Amino acid sequence: MKISELAAESGVPLATVKFYLREGLLMPGQAVSRTQADYDQEHVARVKLVKTLSQQPGFSYQLIGRILDLVADEERPAPQRLGEAMAQLPPGPGTADDIPRARALAKELDLALDESSSCVSHLEAALAAPDDVGLPCSTERFQVYWRHIRDLAEFEVKGVAGESSAAASLQHAVVGTAIYEPVLLALRRLAHQQVYSGEL
Amino acid sequence: MKISELAAESGVPLATVKFYLREGLLMPGQAVSRTQADYDQEHVARVKLVKTLSQQPGFSYQLIGRILDLVADEERPAPQRLGEAMAQLPPGPGTADDIPRARALAKELDLALDESSSCVSHLEAALAAPDDVGLPCSTERFQVYWRHIRDLAEFEVKGVAGESSAAASLQHAVVGTAIYEPVLLALRRLAHQQVYSGEL
């Protein structure tokens, strides 16, 4: 299809599609003449992906490009690419100097912790707030959280394991992690309201 | 204790404590002279609470004041106060004109949905993104999410049910909902990385 059709089909203005092309967020089409190129469904999917991600809090175009490049770099092992792409997700690489809370909880749960992972420094930062307001994360709470979240993660990963290619599945892994966060938070608030209302 | 001791014990600069007082974020102490007041542990807890909340993304002082006022307004029924306070949590009141996705999923799950709740319009907005990137939320996924999140919510609510007073428990409900969100997201990313790395 022509670039104008690509714009129409993905529901994104033509100028925006051209911007994605210039910034390398969208792969070039197949050249059919000096001034025209041919685009396909993969291009439609990519335009929608970039547009949707750009509407999520914390996602700049620069960040989207960095994440998609990391995911697509087939020179390096997949787990490493995944870890690095995940580390880029907003709020970005963690900055904890030390991780005493995360380490203590992981030890109590006998959980192997990759201390270099940015998820671990996010966890450390996240655990400081409950402490500060006098609602500390008990071992029991951590256990219950981890059990549920780990089960959820296994279910979610099964869902992308059937992807057509390793690259698609890796991209879906990172995008799915990010894009379902607001869904889970909305459901949790809904559940809290329901459960509390029954108790109050 | 004196206001300077309050500042020292809560680890917040004196000028900030005075600011909290002026803005009504901190309740006045017990007057002991024309220029001095006496503060207690409840004040320490409040100062820490305001400070910690102000460090969470999306929490302005104005918003913190509004949430704490809503929670404390004992003239109105607790479930209503809870719902309104929850609706204020960032990203703030939802703005969905219609909620077709949330309604369809709730129907499939036979879930009672309070359509006026801001959580429902957040859910609707959150569900649009997975659709747009071609990773739509299947009924099965929604069921699995809801089962885990609902179980988690019941566990979390049990945790605050033992609070000393209804007001404290309501405040902890709202604060706990907000403050544990980053913990859950960090754990989910950690779990995703673990599970995917095993699969890749």
Element (H, E) at B31: strand B30-31
Contacts of residue B176 in chain A, CB cutoff 8 Å?
A: 130, 135
Q: Which residues of B touch A53 (CB under 8 A)?
A: 133
* Contact check, Cβ <8 Å, A133/B52: yes
Q: What is the pLDDT of residue B161?
A: 57
Nearest Cα neighbor of B142 from A32, A152, A38, A124 is: A152
**Pairwise CA distance, residues A196 & A192, whole Å:** 6
ipTM for the assembly: 0.86
Residue B38's H or E segment, with its range, is strand B37-38
- The percentage of chain A sitting over the pLDDT mark of 70, rounded to a whole number, equals 92
Q: Do A79 and B197 touch (CB under 8 A)?
A: yes
**Considering only B17-21, B109-113, B150-154, B177-181, which range has the smallest mean pLDDT?**
B109-113
Grouping H, G, I as helix, E, B as strand and the rest as coil, residue A13 is coil
Q: What is the C-alpha separation between B82 and B89, in angstroms, rounded? A: 11
Q: Where residue A44 falls among pLDDT bands split at 50, 70, 90? A: very high
DSSP string across A117-171: -HHHHHHHHHHHHHHHTT----HHHHHHHHHHHHHHHHHHHHHHHT-SSHHHHHH
